[in-house]
Structure 1
Amino acid sequence: MLPVKRFTEFIEQNNLFTPQNSILLAVSGGIDSVLLSRLFSAAGYSFGIAHCNFGLRGSEADADQQFCRDLATQLGVPFHTINFDTTRYADAHKISIQMAARELRYNWFEQVRQQHNYHLIALGHHKNDTIETILLNLTRGTGIAGLHGILPKNGVLVRPLLFLTRDEIATIVRAQNIPYVEDSSNASTKYARNKIRHEVVPKLRELNPNLENTFDNNLRHFRQLEELLELKVDEVKKHLFVQHEDEIHLAVEGVKALQPQQLLLYKLLQPYGFTEPVVDDVIASLDAQTGKWFASATYRLTIDRGKLILAENIPASTETVIINESDHEVHFDGQRIAILHDDSPLIVKDNPFAVSVDADKLIYPLTIRHWQQSDFFYPLGMKTRKKLSDFFINLKIPLHKKQQIPLLINGNGDIMWVAGHRPDERYKVSHNTKKVTIFELFK
């Protein structure tokens, strides 16, 4: 007899879905996914079957595909299938066959889900898969998130068989005489997961015959610890993270006071793409001089006068825009620069995003670009030149902001205007000025 009651109770207890939802089942034809299909049918849920042929096992894979097609017909549900050139995909993306198959199937499952209006995707993972996943994570290195195992629900993915062990599934399928196909690659120990399944878990079961139940209890504890940690991280974040426009500021002294420091700082920075080794470097550099920075793929963390500044990692632009004498407007790095030619010596005041320049001193074409390391200019009111990097330091402008400031460059290479901050003394409007050109920056 199929364990339909246990099946529906597990679904309800974990809030996986409701009888009104339509579910896409990922079915390989193996014992787990076939039982999943039978349970869905027996429980009266609305579902369809999706099967991937990865083209890796020749006629065996084709037979599995036909088996799944026949199963869908027998159960009277929609069938979706696709053939992949997995080897070609792996070579093109320079990844392993296993990773290629994973990316291909999950991307395709999601496409089918959206195209055919399924609410969720159901996978046939069971208790033993969770054990193998934890052991694999421990072998490769993991944090507490890697110890909670496979979750019953993660986004649009649900796993309604996690209440059963592999042995229980085998017993049910044999007792009901349910046909299924066996993937020959499951027996190979050349894959890490299979090695754990066939060689490591049996040895652990010799030490503890009740291994699955023990792991079940451990998982419950790990998940509760993870929830407790997340609550602590949220609490710390409210006090430590201070929003400043498009930046987040963290007081260095506050970071130093974190306990346990490495764990909490890692959990705070993890959503921004920072890895544990980088977080270790941050902690070791908390007393470093202003300007030291660390980057993830998407964010930059800069040490700046007693605080850490977290901001999106916008790569320094090498864009250069030419301004000709006839131009009235140019666009640079997502910003607009309006240009006005005036025959009177008009001086723009109280607007840092506009500047009046003595038109007779302009050498066309002009250029707009970003800061470079060797740049210098003569700040308005000064008779001596100043390195632009020192000018930025005096204004307490952090590194990532320096790289976003447009510079107006004369045809002879002189910086005439640090947009939004200071014009150059040499190009200011004076009593000798006959006409001006006005540049105005619009964000």
Structure 2
Amino acid sequence: MDLLTGFKIFIEKEQLFAPDQSLLLAVSGGLDSVVMAHLFKAAGFRFAIAHCNFQLREAESVRDESFVKTLADVLQVPFHHIRFDTLTYTESKRVSIQVAARELRYEWLEETRTKAGYSFIVTAHHMQDSVETLLMNLSKGTGISGLHGILPAQGKIIRPLLFAQKEDLLAYAQENGISYVEDSSNLTTKYTRNFFRHKVIPVMQEANPGTVPNIAASIARFREAEVLYQQALEKHVRRLVEQKGNMYMVPVLKLQKTIPMQTVAWEIFRKYGCTPPQLPQVLELLDSTSGKIVETATHRIIRDRQWLLITPLVETEAAVIVIEKDRSVVATANGILRLRTVVRKEQTPIPASAAIACLDKASLQYPLLLRRWRQGDYFYPLGMRKKKKLSRFFIDQKLSVPQKENIWVLESSKRVVWIVGLRIDDRFKVTQHTKDQLTIEWEAL
């Protein structure tokens, strides 16, 4: 089968785009992307060419830009181009040159696609690129999702050359007299991908010349296996994860009895910012006491009795956090509330700590609301019969502006119950008639 025929078959098989859609091709000037542009022209598809000049190789970068512009003229298609100050971006964002180039490239391509009305961005990744990605993922450690290599379609990006080997593209260029330019940076092995391309895969091919197509065939099977894996995983997630508002609850006992427990736990908690090194810490919560916490980049995972509670760090940015009657832990970015109900006994002392609120539960109306204080809020300070504005109370307490900005109030039926960590409202205090006492402890972080 010739390359053009295989190209058309792959596009149809993967349903990458409709024949009448217009596409934006990312073309560097190298063999892969230039051959891709010629294939699109030969197949009669509608497309434009886009080129990024990262200004990293001086005269060579200018040469590439000029070459791609000429290619667009020859193929009689629209040409979009841009020049980036990549080094400045690298310094300002504190990222590697590779990361900077990738971020700049895809952001501009998407912006161009949207403004000009193209259906998809098209890149020239081929079979060997996908194999390299798989091997790189394996070397770093990966779950099953790292075994599918480069996908033919992801969002608005499609890759119609994944069926082809590098040697197929080279042969097509030679047979059709297609010229292209060489990027000197592709020859260095200081970049991870180039190391695998020039050092790892050639050694593997010495042992087995069919390494690339054989691994590519395995990638196709891995993609199908991943579908089955996700189907089984979804059943576990439905059984184990319960959502209440912006909080997720995982029953400890059920998770401990799940087989395979570590794999399922990883797939659950990684969605909430958990990294591989943090997973053992999360699993330790299964055997810990209530109140223990593991904090990820985006969430807190809290052991609370028979549950693991997953709460977002951004919860503090919400206008209101709703606290239902059975909720026992509320995590915020600057502290944690722990709530428990006890039967009141006359001899039980009331803690003197301002970080602990002891309230008459019967006087409360649920749900309680936890929110930032607002101008105009008032309460009746414990031991006083007159109301006082919170702003005045804060002045009396000599709180700084940053301290005031971090104040939470607990509210019941539009009445302030507690200025968290400072003073409760006299109307909700424990009395001799109190039967059930709600004790709330504030742990500042």
Indicate the TM-score class for this superposition, using the shorter chain for normalisation.
0.7 to 0.9
Q: 1:305 to 1:429 in 2, by over 3 A?
A: closer
User: 1:213 and 1:197 mapped to 2: Cα distance?
Assistant: 14
Measured after TM superposition, the shift of residue 224 of structure 1 is 2.1
Aligned residue identity for 2:99: M
In the TM superposition, 1:288-307 aligns within 5 A as 288-307=288-307
Q: Secondary structure at the match of 1:25?
A: strand
Measured after TM superposition, the shift of residue 71 of structure 1 is 0.6
User: 1:394 and 1:426 mapped to 2: Cα distance?
Assistant: 11
Q: 1:156 to 1:372 in 2, by over 3 A?
A: closer
Measured after TM superposition, the shift of residue 244 of structure 1 is 1.8
In the TM superposition, 1:10-409 aligns within 5 A as 10-314=10-314, 334=319, 384-385=350-351, 387=353, 390-391=356-357, 404=371
Stretch moving more, 187-196 or 173-182: 187-196
Cα contact 1:316–1:403 (8 A) shared by 2: no
Measured after TM superposition, the shift of residue 422 of structure 1 is 4.2
Q: Which residue number in structure 2 is paired with residue 419 of structure 1?
A: 411
Q: Which runs of no fewer than 5 residues in structure 2 stay unpaired?
A: 326-333, 338-343, 362-367, 380-389, 399-406, 430-445
User: 2:183 and 2:287 mapped to 1: Cα distance?
Assistant: 57
User: 1:267 and 1:42 mapped to 2: Cα distance?
Assistant: 44
Cα contact 2:14–2:152 (8 A) shared by 1: yes
Q: Secondary structure at the match of 2:209?
A: coil
Measured after TM superposition, the shift of residue 304 of structure 1 is 0.7
Q: Which residue number in structure 1 is paired with residue 439 of structure 2?
A: none
Q: 1:393 to 1:147 in 2, by over 3 A?
A: farther
User: 1:80 and 1:162 mapped to 2: Cα distance?
Assistant: 24
Stretch moving more, 384-393 or 202-211: 384-393
Q: 1:246 to 1:140 in 2, by over 3 A?
A: closer
User: 1:218 and 1:393 mapped to 2: Cα distance?
Assistant: 63
Cα contact 1:247–1:310 (8 A) shared by 2: yes
Q: What are the Cα deviations for residues 309-347 of structure 1, in whole angstroms up to 9, with x where unaligned?
A: 122213768xxxxxxxxxxxxxxx746xxxxxxxxxxxx
User: 1:393 and 1:105 mapped to 2: Cα distance?
Assistant: 58
User: 2:206 and 2:23 mapped to 1: Cα distance?
Assistant: 38
User: 2:175 and 2:148 mapped to 1: Cα distance?
Assistant: 32
Q: 1:178 to 1:211 in 2, by over 3 A?
A: same
Aligned residue identity for 2:195: K
Aligned residue identity for 1:151: L
Measured after TM superposition, the shift of residue 8 of structure 1 is 1.0
Measured after TM superposition, the shift of residue 272 of structure 1 is 2.1
- Superposition TM-score, scaled by structure 2 size: 0.76
Q: Which runs of no fewer than 5 residues in structure 1 stay unpaired?
A: 318-332, 336-351, 353-369, 374-378, 396-400, 431-443
User: 1:27 and 1:35 mapped to 2: Cα distance?
Assistant: 10
Cα contact 2:126–2:163 (8 A) shared by 1: yes
Q: 1:394 to 1:110 in 2, by over 3 A?
A: farther
Aligned residue identity for 1:311: T
Sequence identity (%): 36
Measured after TM superposition, the shift of residue 33 of structure 1 is 0.2
User: 1:63 and 1:314 mapped to 2: Cα distance?
Assistant: 48
Cα contact 2:24–2:120 (8 A) shared by 1: yes
Measured after TM superposition, the shift of residue 225 of structure 1 is 2.2
Q: Which residue number in structure 2 is paired with residue 8 of structure 1?
A: 8
Q: What are the Cα deviations for residues 248-304 of structure 1, in whole angstroms up to 9, with x where unaligned?
A: 211111111121111111111222222122222111221211111222222222111
- Superposition TM-score, scaled by structure 1 size: 0.76
Q: Tell me how many residue pairs correspond in the alignment.
A: 371
User: 2:91 and 2:199 mapped to 1: Cα distance?
Assistant: 30
User: 2:208 and 2:129 mapped to 1: Cα distance?
Assistant: 17
Q: Secondary structure at the match of 1:125?
A: coil
Cα contact 1:52–1:84 (8 A) shared by 2: yes
Q: What are the Cα deviations for residues 7-50 of structure 1, in whole angstroms up to 9, with x where unaligned?
A: 11100101111102111100000000001000111111111100
Cα contact 1:30–1:182 (8 A) shared by 2: yes
Q: 1:94 to 1:402 in 2, by over 3 A?
A: farther
Measured after TM superposition, the shift of residue 135 of structure 1 is 1.5
Q: Which residue number in structure 1 is paired with residue 383 of structure 2?
A: none
Q: 1:372 to 1:205 in 2, by over 3 A?
A: closer
Measured after TM superposition, the shift of residue 241 of structure 1 is 1.4
Measured after TM superposition, the shift of residue 247 of structure 1 is 1.7
Cα contact 2:360–2:428 (8 A) shared by 1: no
Measured after TM superposition, the shift of residue 113 of structure 1 is 0.6
Measured after TM superposition, the shift of residue 141 of structure 1 is 2.2
User: 1:168 and 1:306 mapped to 2: Cα distance?
Assistant: 59
Q: Which residue number in structure 1 is paired with residue 440 of structure 2?
A: none
Cα contact 1:405–1:419 (8 A) shared by 2: no
